[in-house]
Amino acid sequence: MGVLNVTPDSFSDGGRYFDTDKAVEHGLDMAREGADIIDIGGESTRPYSGEISAAEEMDRVIPVIEALHKEISIPISIDTCKAEVADEALKAGASIINDISALRFDPKMPGIAAREGVPVILMHIKGTPGDMQINPVYDDLIHEILDFLKDAVDRCAAAGIRRDLTVIDPGIGFGKTFDHNLQIIRELSQFKSLERPVLIGPSNKAFIGHILDRAPHERDTGSMAAVAASVMNGAHMVRVHHVKKAVETVKIIDAIKRGSSSD
Q: Quick one: three-class SS letters along 241-263?
A: CCHHHHHHHHHHHHHHHHCCCCC
- Across the beta sheet with 96-99, the strand order is 2-5, 38-41, 76-79, 96-99, 120-123, 166-169
Concerning whether 245 is annotated as a catalytic residue, the answer is no
For residues 167 and 198, the answer to whether their CB atoms sit within 8 Å is: yes
- Among the listed residues 163, 239, 257, 258, the single catalytic one is 239
| SS percent in the chain: helix, strand, coil, step 5 | 50, 10, 40
For residues 27 and 40, the answer to whether their CB atoms sit within 8 Å is: yes
Concerning whether 70 is annotated as a catalytic residue, the answer is no
**Which residues sit opposite 79 in a β-bridge?**
41, 98
- Among the listed residues 22, 205, 244, 245, the single catalytic one is 205
- Catalytic residue numbers read 205, 239
